[in-house]
């Protein structure tokens, strides 16, 4: 059993870990930025709960983390408090997994502002620079696991999209010709898929006149495809992702 496999097997229910399998050393500044991103996203998602690092190994990189209450506090003896802590950690890992999966499908989505994307940006940076294969894992109290994996090549592709600047002229045109929008007419797409494409095309910028014009053009395409009936579902998806600004613009579209 390799060291990394040993560290993985030692993770306990209620704990989560990030494992980077790489032969290169990871700079301390990158590790610190990753931990800071985990802490910030966790506080945002959990209403201010405290995240702690429970284990850290190098030679590859393995970082385990948990809620402070679940790991160290005497309050962990209280079943209600323990469940709150477990749910909060699971929510963080779920957000990271969602952001990673979305970025794998639509690399430009890595610019997203929702909790989870900040952590994924740091994960992608480390993986792209060190050639690491990454696993994010959370062990639920019932033994079930939440997990997502990211390969080094996937990380490089996502990092390239994150580093690509938007041109200063006609940004709405650049967004509307992004490869993600070519998928709008594909059969079998769900409201979540359309929300992915909208976020990837518009980026993290708050709704303004340019974003509104771009979104209206996207909706016009969907309308021509006969998909006006799912506008409300797309709006709900965007609200769940923290983009109520875009959802509000969608809901303002008059019925046909």
**Domain housing 235:** 168-251
pLDDT exceeds cutoff 70 at 72: no
Selected residue with higher pLDDT from 171 and 185: 185
Q: In terms of domains, do 146 and 207 share one?
A: no
Please, which residues bridge with residue 149 across strands? 135
Is residue 142 in a domain? yes
> Is the distance from CB of 176 to CB of 202 less than 8 angstroms?
no
Is residue 110 in a domain? yes
Closest of 39, 4, 14, 1 to residue 135, by C-alpha: 4
- Of these ranges, 4-18, 114-128, 173-187, 225-239, the one predicted with the greatest mean pLDDT is 114-128
Is residue 31 in a domain? yes
Closest of 36, 52, 30, 12 to residue 137, by C-alpha: 12
Is residue 50 in a domain? yes
Length of the chain: 256
Is residue 256 in a domain? no
Last residue of a domain, one of 139, 162, 185: 162
Angle between the 191-202 and 79-105 helix axes, to the nearest 10 degrees? 70
Q: What are the pLDDT digits (tens) for 103-137? A: 888 887 787 778 898 999 999 999 999 999 999 98
Q: In terms of domains, do 127 and 46 share one?
A: yes
pLDDT exceeds cutoff 80 at 75: no
pLDDT exceeds cutoff 70 at 167: no
**Within a 10 A sphere around the Cβ of 180, how many other Cβ atoms?**
20
Domains: count for the chain = 2
Last residue of a domain, one of 129, 145, 162: 162
> Is the distance from CB of 83 to CB of 122 less than 8 angstroms?
no
**Region 170-188: what's the mean pLDDT?**
53
pLDDT of residue 128: 94
**Region 94-99: what's the mean pLDDT?**
90
**Chain centroid offset of residue 86 CA:** 19
Selected residue with higher pLDDT from 48 and 7: 48
pLDDT of residue 156: 93
Is residue 109 in a domain? yes
Q: What Cα–Cα distance (Å) separates residue 229 from each residue in 131, 162, 234?
A: 44, 33, 10
> Model pTM?
0.63
Query: Helix or strand or coil: residue 132?
Result: coil
pLDDT of residue 2: 62
Q: In terms of domains, do 52 and 147 share one?
A: yes
Is residue 15 in a domain? yes
Last residue of a domain, one of 120, 147, 162: 162
């Amino acid at each position: 059993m390799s060291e990394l496999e040993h560290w993985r097997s030692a993770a306990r229910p209620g704990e989560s870990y990030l494992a980077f399998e790489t032969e290169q050393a990871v700079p301390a500044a990158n590790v610190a930025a990753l931990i800071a991103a985990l802490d910030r996203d966790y506080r945002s998602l959990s209403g201010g709960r405290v995240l702690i690092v429970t284990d850290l190994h190098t030679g590859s990189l393995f970082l385990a983390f948990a809620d402070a209450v679940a790991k160290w506090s005497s309050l962990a003896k209280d079943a209600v408090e323990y469940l709150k802590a477990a749910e909060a950690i699971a929510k963080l890992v779920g957000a990271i997994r969602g952001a990673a999966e979305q970025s794998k499908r639509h690399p430009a989505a890595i610019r997203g502002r929702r909790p989870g994307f900040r952590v994924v940006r740091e994960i992608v940076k480390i993986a792209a620079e060190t050639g690491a294969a990454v696993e994010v894992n959370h062990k639920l109290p019932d033994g079930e696991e939440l997990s997502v994996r990211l390969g080094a090549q996937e990380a490089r592709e996502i990092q390239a999209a994150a580093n690509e600047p938007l041109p200063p002229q006609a940004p709405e045109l650049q967004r509307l010709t992004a490869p993600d929008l070519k998928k709008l007419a594909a059969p079998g797409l769900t409201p979540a898929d359309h929300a992915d494409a909208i976020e990837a095309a518009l980026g993290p910028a708050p709704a303004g006149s340019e974003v509104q014009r771009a979104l209206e053009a996207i909706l016009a395409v969907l309308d021509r495809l006969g998909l006006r009936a799912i506008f409300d579902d797309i709006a709900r998806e965007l609200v769940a992702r923290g983009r109520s600004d875009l959802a509000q613009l969608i809901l303002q579209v008059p019925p046909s």
